[in-house]
């Protein structure tokens, strides 16, 4: 096994997979180290019982809350990372998210770059991940240099009616950006069969634009690219001066191995990237690698998210429901002193996944069976930005496992969004029915276990005292260590994070290509 790689990338998800895809055409020798394996294509992929009830694809990791209580985090260790399970709602952050945003409960800090700096990379990410949508509809979005590569996915009849009702009531619904390989003009030749299993399920037919299918698989035949699966990186070692990573320590199939490369990139997800750095403490870096500022692990965010089900009088036979969103509450103004967040549709409810909520559900809608409740469900996903608190952080316990401290933030805005949501339902004929908070969407008994949108922990910035990596996402304290996952986010905005991680990985990839040439 050669160990003189040009670039070693740790993690193959949105950040790592996209980075590899960006630099691979150069012929540089790339080693991808992935803790998981390929996610098996099996009938269970599209079965809510194994996926939601049994948690078939959730890792067996145990993390601990600040009180020492163990929990099973919602992390997915596969080639493609969390994107194997994601809903492929591929939003750009809004221009306002790159600046400082004031809330009742605190401040969301500015990014060191602007929306305009990111725009070309957002466009490239949208084209790479085959996003369907329509730029120009949502008043909160920034300028765009190129329309989406695919037209927006059409609304099915119930969702089109919701769209029309919202528009008639003065809201501004728009076509949500979806990363699926669907050609509605030529359905028989389309990979995607437009099923209901996009959000929270792996795609059995590989028609969801995830990082494995889009970014990693196309590289597998290249002689310059090596992918090692079941290769968990445990620590990084440096030269005696502590300026360059010289050794990447791995446990692969239970055996210790080590690799070296000119450049090392961490993209293991926000919590695990921090874990690897903290596990790499040495004489030169006693508090953990790249952690002279004590910033590694801090400012952890994961969105304040709420799944809610409204029950519609008429059946909702929608199959693919994630085609509509509303950003009318995204910005301050119109009588609001601060922003509240985003409302979008969620994957359609099904009775199997609702089973755990059955007594509650059938009490709310006594005239309907569980099957009917699911059929009448209209599913929404509400997102409010959570604020980076230094004390919301990843640390390591004595045995090296992750401890996650998290105090909720920005709850005033989240409560405000929920009130606006209830009011919105009143305008579209869904109000006379109960709204149910949909806990079963993410099976978890500890709220912080819902780490799907984890970000922060290694923020990028210009000041080494308050950030871990610089504008190019290179560690301030090292010459050859980079980070390209969501850990670099200084704030998280209120839209889904993956497209920003992908765009940033392309941006950093361009920098690395220049550096390597």
Ligand X SMILES: Cc1cc2nc3c(=O)[nH]c(=O)nc-3n(C[C@H](O)[C@H](O)[C@H](O)COP(=O)(O)OP(=O)(O)OC[C@H]3O[C@@H](n4cnc5c(N)ncnc54)[C@H](O)[C@@H]3O)c2cc1C
Contacts with ligand X by CB under 6 A lie at 10-16, 33-36, 74, 76-77, 81-83, 85-90, 200, 232-233, 267-269, 272, 276, 452-453, 485-486, 496-499, 501
Shortest CB 139 distance to ligand X, Å: 21
Contact 163, 173 (CB under 8 A): yes
Shortest CB 497 distance to ligand X, Å: 4
The structure tokens listed for 59 are 């890792």
- Mention every residue, 6+ apart, whose C-beta is less than 8 A from residue 335: none
Contact 365, 433 (CB under 8 A): yes
Nearest to ligand X of 81, 490 (CB atom): 81
Nearest to ligand X of 18, 155 (CB atom): 18
Task: Give phi and psi for 436, each to the nearest 5.
Answer: -115, 130
Shortest CB 193 distance to ligand X, Å: 19
Question: Residue 437 CB: number of other CB atoms within 10 A?
Answer: 14
Nearest to ligand X of 88, 436 (CB atom): 88
Shortest CB 175 distance to ligand X, Å: 15
Report the residue closest to ligand X, judged by CB: 13
Nearest to ligand X of 275, 476 (CB atom): 275
Shortest CB 78 distance to ligand X, Å: 6
Cα–Cα nearest to 377, from 389, 388, 364, 387: 364
Cα–Cα nearest to 310, from 352, 365, 386, 363: 365
Task: Please tell me the distance from the alpha carbon of residue 433 to that of residue 340, in angstroms, as a whole number.
Answer: 24
Task: Give phi and psi for 390, each to the nearest 5.
Answer: -55, -30
Left, alpha or beta for 277 (phi > 0: left; psi -120 to 50: alpha)? alpha
The sign of the dihedral angle between the CA atoms of 449, 452, 453, 456 is positive
Nearest to ligand X of 216, 387 (CB atom): 216
Shortest CB 22 distance to ligand X, Å: 13
* Total residue count of the chain as it appears in this document: 517
Measured between alpha carbons, how far apart are the two ends of the chain, in Å? 24
Task: Please tell me the distance from the alpha carbon of residue 51 to that of residue 45, in angstroms, as a whole number.
Answer: 7
Task: Please tell me the distance from the alpha carbon of residue 458 to that of residue 268, in angstroms, as a whole number.
Answer: 12
Task: Give phi and psi for 344, each to the nearest 5.
Answer: -140, 170
What b/e string do you get for 17-29 counting C-beta neighbours within 10 Å, with b at 16 or more? Answer: bbbbbbbbebebb
Shortest CB 495 distance to ligand X, Å: 8
Shortest CB 211 distance to ligand X, Å: 6
Shortest CB 486 distance to ligand X, Å: 4
Nearest to ligand X of 198, 311 (CB atom): 198
Shortest CB 1 distance to ligand X, Å: 17
Nearest to ligand X of 288, 497 (CB atom): 497
Shortest CB 7 distance to ligand X, Å: 15
Q: Which helix (H) or strand (E) segment is 264 a member of? A: strand 261-266
Shortest CB 484 distance to ligand X, Å: 7
The sign of the dihedral angle between the CA atoms of 340, 345, 347, 349 is positive
Nearest to ligand X of 236, 414 (CB atom): 236
Nearest to ligand X of 89, 325 (CB atom): 89
The sign of the dihedral angle between the CA atoms of 68, 85, 155, 173 is positive
- Mention every residue, 6+ apart, whose C-beta is less than 8 A from residue 368: 362, 376
Question: Residue 474 CB: number of other CB atoms within 10 A?
Answer: 22
Nearest to ligand X of 8, 373 (CB atom): 8
Nearest to ligand X of 273, 312 (CB atom): 273
Secondary structure class of 309 (helix, strand, coil):
strand
The structure tokens listed for 336 are 């609001």
Nearest to ligand X of 138, 232 (CB atom): 232
């Amino acid at each position: 096994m050669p160990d003189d790689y040009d670039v070693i990338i740790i993690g193959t998800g949105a950040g790592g997979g996209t980075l590899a895809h960006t630099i691979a055409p150069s012929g540089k020798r790339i080693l991808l180290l992935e803790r998981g394996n390929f996610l098996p294509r099996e009938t269970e992929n599209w079965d809510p019982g194994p996926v939601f009830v049994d948690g078939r694809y959730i890792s067996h990791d145990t993390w601990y809350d600040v009180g020492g209580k163990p929990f099973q985090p919602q992390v997915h260790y596969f080639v493609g990372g969390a994107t194997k399970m994601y809903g492929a709602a591929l939003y750009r952050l809004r221009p306002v998210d790159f600046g400082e945003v004031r809330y009742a409960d605190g401040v969301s800090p500015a990014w060191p770059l602007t929306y305009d700096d990111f725009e070309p990379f957002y466009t490239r990410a949208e084209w790479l991940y085959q996003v369907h949508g329509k730029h120009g509809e949502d008043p909160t979005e920034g300028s765009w240099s190129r329309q989406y590569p695919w037209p927006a996915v059409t609304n099915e009849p119930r969702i089109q009616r919701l769209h029309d009702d919202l528009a008639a009531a003065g809201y501004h619904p728009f076509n949500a950006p979806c990363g699926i390989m669907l050609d509605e003009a030529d359905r028989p030749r389309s990979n995607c069969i437009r099923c209901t299993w996009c959000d929270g399920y792996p795609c059995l037919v590989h028609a969801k634009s995830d990082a494995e299918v889009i970014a990693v698989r196309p590289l597998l035949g290249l002689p310059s690219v090596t992918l090692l699966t079941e290769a968990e990186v445990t620590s990084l070692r440096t030269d005696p001066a502590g300026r360059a990573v010289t050794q990447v320590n791995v446990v692969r199939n239970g055996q210790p191995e080590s690799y070296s490369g000119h450049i090392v990139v961490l993209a293991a997800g926000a919590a695990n990237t921090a874990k690897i750095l903290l596990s790499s403490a040495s004489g030169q870096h006693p508090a953990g690698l790249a952690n002279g500022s004590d910033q590694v692990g801090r400012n952890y965010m994961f969105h304040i998210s709420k799944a809610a089900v409204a029950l519609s009088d008429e059946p909702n036979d929608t199959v693919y429901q994630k085609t509509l969103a509303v950003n009318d509450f995204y910005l301050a103004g119109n009588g609001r002193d601060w922003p509240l967040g985003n409302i979008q549709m969620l994957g359609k409810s099904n009775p199997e996944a609702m089973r755990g909520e059955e007594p509650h559900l059938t009490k709310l809608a006594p005239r309907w069976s569980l099957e009917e409740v699911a059929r009448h469900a209209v599913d929404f996903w509400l997102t409010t930005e959570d604020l980076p608190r230094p004390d919301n952080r990843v640390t390591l316990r004595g045995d090296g496992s992750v401890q996650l401290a998290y105090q909720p933030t920005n709850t005033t805005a989240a409560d405000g969004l929920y009130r606006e949501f209830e009011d919105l339902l009143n305008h579209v004929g869904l109000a006379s029915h109960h709204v149910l908070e949909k806990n079963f969407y993410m099976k978890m008994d500890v709220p912080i276990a819902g780490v799907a949108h984890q970000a922060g922990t290694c923020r990028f910035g210009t000041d080494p005292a308050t950030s871990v990596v610089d504008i190019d996402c290179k560690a301030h304290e090292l010459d050859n260590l980079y980070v390209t996952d969501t850990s670099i986010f200084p704030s998280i905005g209120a839209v889904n994070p993956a497209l920003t991680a992908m765009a940033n990985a392309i941006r950093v990839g361009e920098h690395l290509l220049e550096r390597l040439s």
